[in-house]
Amino acid sequence: MGSKPISLPRHSKGKRPQFFNDEGMEHLLAMILELSTELAVAYNRIDRLERVLVAAGVTSQEALDAYEPGEEALKAQDAWSDLLLDRLYSSVEQASTAG
């Protein structure tokens, strides 16, 4: 019996739950939760990739630890960091334009 995949909306409807009386604390909490989620996903993916590469004999843990990215990789990493910061500050920006 194949089950149909569940499709969830990309953005929730309604107001966000409020945990603090201070709006600044609410934004800080949103940023922390966003970072925590990103960190957990990134850690799991990196761990999985490293294990696959080492198990397949593509590289060793020592080679992974010694790797230094080139200029192109550094630019891509900087661009990703900028996107992450945009996401983190989006809750603050949304509040400032809404109110």
Q: What is the CA radius of gyration of the chain?
A: 19
Q: For residue 11, is it within any domain? A: no
Q: How many domains does the chain have?
A: 1
pLDDT for 34-82, tens place per residue? 889 989 999 999 999 999 999 999 999 999 999 999 999 999 999 999 9
Q: Tell me which of 78 and 31 has the higher pLDDT.
A: 78
Q: For residue 12, is it within any domain? A: no
Q: For residue 6, is it within any domain? A: no
Q: For residue 8, is it within any domain? A: no
Q: For residue 63, is it within any domain? A: yes
Mapped to the 3 state alphabet, what secondary structure does 24-81 carry? HHHHHHHHHHHHHHHHHHHHHHHHHHHHHHHHCCCCCHHHHHHCCCCHHHHHHHHHHH
Q: For residue 87, is it within any domain? A: yes
At 75 the pLDDT is 98
Q: For residue 68, is it within any domain? A: yes
Q: For residue 15, is it within any domain? A: no
Residue 90's domain comprises 23-98
